[in-house]
């Protein structure tokens, strides 16, 4: 886990949970988002991003992956339609005056989908040489459905042969957080077809890429441990992913907080910190 880690707004039956979306976005950007830094770094090294790279980030959220790319001299564009609150934080991070360089003026952030990029631009931008979808799939039932449509809208904006990077959760036996995420399944409506935990499958990423008309061209695995200063930070960080929204809607916030905190006990150290080793997987596909 948007993990997306994953998706902040999930389809579910019943009333949406009442949460402070601004606070949720801050918890994501300040606590949870950094857990995926090893994934971002590994991908950027693998595809050799640098000056001259034109990156389109799908589901860019609060923009940490874009900031890391921009620090390498990359011209970055981010689109996100799930959380205006996260996107507002990305704008703060990536505004040109925050960098003090003219290069950051190439940054574009759009609240919407790839289809909205042309409408938001004064002129047709150059084709992108890299597309990333870093929000990991393979954690919730149905969490790959929207990604395929997003990729099909994005690939016409990319150069022929450009790499498209997808991310997913690794095998459950390599992801300690899987046991914690099962709390969401236990509390949510068991009949719901989306919004509940399921184990990642080996070919999740390849299937999405092929449905979008992309050609798989390599993959890798990256250790992304989830580490928190204390149990309260862990609860806030995990809730910020949106993976527990269906459980909150089916029960209530207090019950989810309680059971989530209890599920973290095996991973809490004597000094109060919480440590959960995980492995994430990425796939590099190519635009035909």
State the sign of the Cα–Cα–Cα–Cα dihedral 137, 141, 146, 149.
positive
pLDDT value of residue 196: 55
Domains in the chain (CATH in brackets) are: 21-286 (3.40.50.150)
Alpha-carbon distance of 2 to 127, in angstroms, equals 25
pLDDT tens digits, 214-233: 999 999 999 999 999 999 99
pLDDT tens digits, 86-124: 999 999 999 766 555 444 557 899 999 998 887 766 556
pLDDT value of residue 194: 47
pLDDT value of residue 186: 80
Taking Cα atoms as reference points, which of 224, 251, 64, 254 lies closest to residue 139? 224
pLDDT value of residue 13: 38
Radius of gyration of the chain (CA): 18
Report strand pairing: 108-111 vs 75-80.
parallel
b/e map 155-172, b = 16+ CB within 10 Å: bebbeeebbbbbbbbbeb
- Determine the angle formed by the axes of helices 204-211 and 145-154, rounding to 10 degrees: 40
Residues in the chain: 288
**Average pLDDT, rounded, for the chain:** 86
Q: Provide the token pair at 180.
A: 């914690």
How far lies 16's CA from each of 10, 35, 247, in Å?
9, 27, 10
Asked if 200 and 169 count as a contact pair (C-beta separation under 8 A), the reply is yes
Asked if residue 24 has pLDDT above 80, the reply is yes
Residue 162 contacts by C-beta under 8 Å, 6 or more apart in sequence?
127, 128, 129, 130, 131, 286, 287
pLDDT value of residue 220: 97
How far lies 20's CA from each of 6, 25, 79, 85, 253, in Å?
18, 9, 22, 10, 12
What pTM was computed for the model?
0.87
């Amino acid at each position: 886990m948007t993990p997306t880690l994953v998706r902040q707004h999930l389809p579910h039956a019943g009333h949406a949970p009442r949460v402070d979306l601004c606070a949720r976005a801050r918890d994501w950007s300040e606590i949870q988002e950094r857990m995926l830094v090893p994934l971002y770094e590994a991908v950027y090294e693998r595809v050799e991003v640098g000056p001259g790279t034109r990156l389109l980030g799908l589901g860019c959220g609060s923009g940490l992956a874009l900031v890391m790319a921009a620090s390498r001299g990359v011209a970055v564009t981010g689109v996100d339609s799930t959380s205006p609150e996260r996107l507002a934080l990305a704008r703060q991070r990536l505004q040109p005056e925050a960098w003090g360089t003219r290069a950051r003026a190439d940054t574009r952030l759009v609240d919407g989908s790839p289809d909205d990029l042309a409408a938001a631009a004064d002129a047709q931008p150059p084709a992108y040489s890299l597309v990333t979808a870093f929000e990991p799939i393979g954690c919730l039932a149905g969490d790959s459905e929207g990604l395929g449509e997003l990729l099909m809208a994005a690939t016409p904006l990319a150069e022929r042969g450009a790499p498209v990077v997808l991310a997913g959760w690794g095998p459950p036996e390599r992801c300690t957080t899987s046991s914690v995420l099962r709390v969401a399944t236990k509390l949510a409506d068991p009949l719901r077809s989306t919004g509940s935990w399921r184990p990642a499958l080996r070919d999740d990423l390849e299937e999405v890429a092929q449905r979008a008309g992309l050609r798989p061209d390599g993959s890798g695995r990256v250790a992304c441990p989830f580490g928190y200063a204390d149990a309260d930070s862990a609860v806030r960080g995990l809730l910020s992913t949106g993976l527990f929204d269906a459980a909150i809607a089916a029960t209530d916030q207090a019950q989810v907080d309680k059971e989530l905190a209890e599920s973290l006990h095996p991973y809490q150290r004597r000094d109060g910190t919480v440590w959960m080793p995980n492995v994430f997987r990425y796939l590099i596909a190519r635009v035909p």
